[in-house]
């Protein structure tokens, strides 16, 4: 491509980025169904697939647990990532954690950084995302002649669009990665991202009366808030990683990551639904500047080598983490009552200039661990780890100048093994004990945005991996996980650790190519969940936790006709069973239940070439039947699933 054409494309992308709406940044070439290694959960760009997501695994909130890795190395994430420096993100559980050091009991989000030593081209993407959001992004790649040094920088923006709730938003992202290999055995990477967005306040719903049924269906894509309630926020990340290969199998690795999320103003519109389920009393919860910062680092020194027919890998790990948050100071703007699902009357905005964040939270953690992995012959794989950690949390009420703190120093450990019992068949099992985060209180709680303390979690599992054919792999596993349970206190409306919860279940994954034209990714999980909660007098009662379905099943197929090269059709279905919606039983003594529901997606992708420019076109219909269902969080806050939507994206690589 000549310089003049490249200049026109660059100018167009940069100019359009100043008029932006939405938060989806996707490219037509992202094909999660083709690239997924199993059905447990993978994401490429904004396309994802699997029975689990980056936020929910085996009925738990994985994002709250804080088990994140960059190329297997530990980091704390308070800002998110970008496809401009990330190649893919996978949920690692069970069998697929045998290659990870210190896998968390709730699973791991394993994020692979882009490798710029592979062939890279410039990319321009334009398209229409769901609900009319016009998307544009540019990815520019540069490298030296011998590829020892390479740079990739991307800019993404959205234009004219809405959220599933009809709210308007705007955003802009700039991110990239620099890679250097100045000598043999040395690999250095620096990555960064800056993402700013503005969005009209999301609407949430809660039921405070003792009812045994849910609100009726309401019109989606209808904005119910106030035009002045616009959240203004920015997320930033910067990190550096290094890998050094020394002689004799010795190696060293390190990573440092700093992340930040700042809400200059934050708004949530909360509707409290009355006992008749026909009217709702609205309030805007307005927060002054809130900030969430984290720095984390890990250093690894290890040796890997063969001894006879076995390969051994032993590593010493040191981890450091500091997180600091400032939050609180919320003001409430009453909106009055209106029929559920209809906008309330106009109300004056609160004066956020009269308040500030009144609470502060700091976490300091340092850990030292030893890990061991081995491949013994060609039949046995082992993964062992032991770690000592010191976790200190300090909480401060700035308005009262009161400071409290708590420290724990537990031993954490994991053991996992896989044994080949016959060609293509492996039995595996594991046990792990970890210290996992519990997330933070939602903006609708009385202690909005407060960081919950970390808690000890354990997980046991056993399973089988089998190659059904040369190209199709199946997993079946049983698991048993226990951890502290966050939830809403009915007396104070605070979001706290209210007890313990145990999830036992069975999961299935089947994935691979049925033939050269047809690919399958399918799976399901059954969860038997039980929460142990204090009921007074030192006694403990058991109940089903909020928002955990018994059953989730997915099935996805892609078909590429041999007669039309470059064309692929794909489709998928997802079934989610009923789940408990409220802890409080209704006046009849029955519990409120979210009903089960089924959604379906259809898509087509077509790749073609024009004058040495590869163009990929992607079209999708999501929630084909326009299914409606309420959803619920652990804080007993209701929302609804996204309605039917359409997207069309085109990516040109040149």
Could you report the per-residue pLDDT of 575-622, keeping only the tens digit for each?
999 999 887 766 666 778 899 999 999 999 999 998 889 999 999 999
Instruction: Give Cα separations from 540 to 536, 543, 632 (angstroms).
Output: 7, 10, 24
Instruction: Decide: residue 610, CB within 10 A, 0-12 exposed, 13-18 middle, 19+ buried.
Output: exposed
Give the integer Cα–Cα distance in Å for 322 and 258. Answer: 10
Buried/exposed 168-193: b ≥16 CB within 10 Å, e otherwise: bbbbbbbbbbbbbbeeeeebebbbbb
What count of other Cβ atoms lies within 10 Å of the Cβ of residue 615?
A: 17
Report the percentage of the chain scoring pLDDT > 70.
94
Reduced to 3 states, what is the DSSP secondary structure of residue 337?
strand
Between 140 and 210, the higher pLDDT residue: 140
Q: Quick one: pLDDT at residue 536?
A: 57
pTM strictly above 0.85: yes
Q: Token pair of 632, please?
A: 């619920």
Strands (E), 398-454: 402-408, 411-422, 425-436
DSSP code of residue 248: G
pLDDT digit string, tens, across residues 21-47: 233 456 788 888 999 999 999 999 889
How far apart CA 277 and CA 211 sit, in angstroms, is: 9
What 3-state DSSP class applies to 56? strand
**The pairing of beta strand 567-576 with beta strand 539-543:** unpaired
Location of structure tokens 């030296």: 144
Q: Can you give the CATH number for the domain in which 289 is found? A: 2.40.170.20
Q: Which domain holds residue 16?
A: 3-653
- Residue pair 28/616 in contact (Cβ under 8 Å)? The answer is yes
Q: Report whether pLDDT(539) > 90.
A: no
**214-242 per-position pLDDT tens digit:** 899 999 999 999 999 999 999 999 999 99
Give the pLDDT band (50/70/90) at residue 568: very high
What lies within 8 Å, CB to CB, of 390 at 6+ separation is: 365, 366, 367, 407, 408, 409
CB-based contact 632:638 (threshold 8 Å): yes
Q: How confident is the model at residue 15 (pLDDT cuts 50, 70, 90)?
A: very low
CA distances for 436 relative to 91, 192, 371, 387, 389, angstroms: 16, 26, 19, 14, 12
Residue 166 CA neighbour count, 13 Å, CB half: 14
Quick one: tokens of 221? 């894509």
Report the DSSP beta bridge partners of residue 192: 176, 238
As for how many domains the chain has, the answer is 1
User: Which residues on neighbouring strands pair with residue 126, listed in sequence order?
Assistant: 136, 650
User: Environment class of residue 605 by beta-carbon count within 10 Å: exposed (0-12), middle (13-18) or buried (19+)?
Assistant: buried
Please say whether the beta carbons of 33 and 515 come within 8 A.
no
pLDDT digits (tens, 9 = 90+) for 43-66: 998 899 999 998 889 988 887 788
Q: Does the structure show a pLDDT above 60 at 457? A: yes
Which range has highest mean pLDDT (54-63, 77-86, 534-543)? 77-86
End-to-end CA distance of the chain: 7
- pLDDT tens digits, one per residue of 288-337: 999 999 999 999 999 999 998 999 999 999 999 999 999 989 999 999 99
Chain-wide mean pLDDT for the chain?
89
334-364 confidence digits (pLDDT tens)? 999 999 999 888 999 999 988 999 899 999 9
- What is the pLDDT, as a whole number, of residue 191? 98
CA–CA separation, 192 and 82 (whole Å): 9
């Amino acid at each position: 491509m000549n310089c003049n054409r490249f200049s026109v494309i660059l100018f167009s992308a940069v100019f359009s980025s100043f008029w932006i709406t939405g938060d989806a940044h996707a490219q037509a070439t992202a094909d999660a169904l083709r690239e997924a290694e199993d059905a447990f959960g993978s994401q490429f760009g904004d396309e994802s697939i699997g029975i689990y997501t980056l936020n929910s695994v085996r009925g738990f909130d994985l994002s709250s647990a804080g088990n994140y890795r960059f190329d297997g190395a530990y980091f704390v994430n308070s800002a998110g990532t970008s496809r401009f420096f990330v190649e893919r993100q996978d949920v690692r559980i069970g069998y697929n954690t045998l290659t990870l050091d210190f896998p968390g009991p709730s699973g791991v989000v394993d994020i692979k950084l882009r490798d710029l030593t592979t062939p890279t081209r410039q990319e321009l993407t334009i398209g229409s995302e769901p609900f009319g959001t016009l998307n544009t992004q540019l990815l520019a790649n540069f490298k030296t002649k011998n590829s020892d040094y390479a740079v990739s920088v991307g800019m993404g923006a959205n234009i004219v669009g809405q959220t599933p709730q009809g709210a308007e938003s705007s955003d802009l992202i700039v991110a990239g990665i620099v890679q250097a290999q100045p000598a043999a055995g040395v690999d250095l990477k620096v990555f960064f991202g800056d993402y700013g967005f503005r969005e009209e306040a999301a609407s949430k719903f809660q039921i405070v009366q003792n009812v045994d049924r849910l609100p009726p269906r309401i019109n989606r894509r209808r904005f119910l808030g106030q035009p002045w309630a616009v959240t203004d926020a920015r997320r930033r990340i910067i990190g550096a990683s290094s890998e050094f290969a020394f002689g004799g199998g010795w190696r060293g690795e390190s990573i440092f990551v700093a992340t930040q999320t700042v809400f200059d103003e934050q708004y949530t519109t909360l509707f409290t639904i009355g006992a008749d389920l026909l009217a709702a009393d609205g309030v805007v919860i307005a927060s002054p500047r809130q900030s969430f910062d984290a720095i984390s680092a890990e250093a690894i020194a290890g040796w890997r080598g063969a001894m006879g027919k076995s390969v051994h890998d032993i590593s010493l790990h040191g981890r450091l983490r500091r997180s600091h948050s400032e939050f609180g100071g919320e003001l409430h703007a009453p909106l009055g009552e209106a029929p559920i699902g209809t906008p309330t009357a106009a109300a004056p905005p609160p004066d956020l200039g009269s308040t500030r964040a009144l609470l502060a939270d700091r976490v300091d953690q340092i850990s030292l661990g030893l890990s061991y992995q081995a491949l013994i012959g060609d039949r046995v794989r082992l993964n062992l780890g032991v770690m000592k950690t010191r976790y200190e949390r300090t909480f401060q009420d700035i308005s009262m100048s009161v400071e409290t703190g708590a420290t724990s120093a537990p031993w954490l450990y994991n053991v996992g093994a896989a044994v080949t019992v016959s060609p293509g068949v492996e039995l595996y099992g594991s046990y792990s004990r970890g210290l996992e985060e519990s997330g933070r209180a939602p903006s609708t709680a009385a202690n909005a945005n407060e960081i919950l303390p970390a808690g000890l979690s354990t997980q046991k599992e056993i399973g089988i991996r089998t190659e059904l054919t040369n190209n199709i792999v199946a997993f079946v596993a049983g698991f048993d996980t226990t951890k502290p349970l966050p939830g809403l206190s009915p007396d104070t409306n605070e979001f706290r650790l209210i007890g313990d919860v145990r999830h036992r279940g069975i999961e299935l994954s089947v994935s691979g190519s049925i033939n050269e034209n047809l690919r399958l990714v399918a799976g399901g999980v059954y969860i038997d969940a039980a929460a142990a909660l204090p009921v007074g007098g030192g006694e403990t009662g058991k109940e089903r936790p909020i928002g955990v379905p018994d059953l989730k099943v997915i099935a996805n197929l892609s078909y590429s006709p041999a007669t039309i090269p470059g064309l692929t059709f794909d489709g998928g279905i997802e079934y989610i069973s009923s789940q408990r919606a409220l802890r409080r039983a209704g006046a009849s003594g029955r519990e409120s239940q979210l009903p089960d529901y089924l959604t379906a997606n259809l898509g087509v992708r077509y790749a073609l070439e024009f004058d040495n420019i590869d163009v990929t076109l992607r079209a999708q219909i999501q929630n084909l039947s326009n299914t409606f269902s309420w959803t619920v969080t652990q804080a007993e806050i209701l929302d609804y699933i996204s309605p039917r939507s359409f997207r069309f994206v085109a990516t040109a690589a040149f």
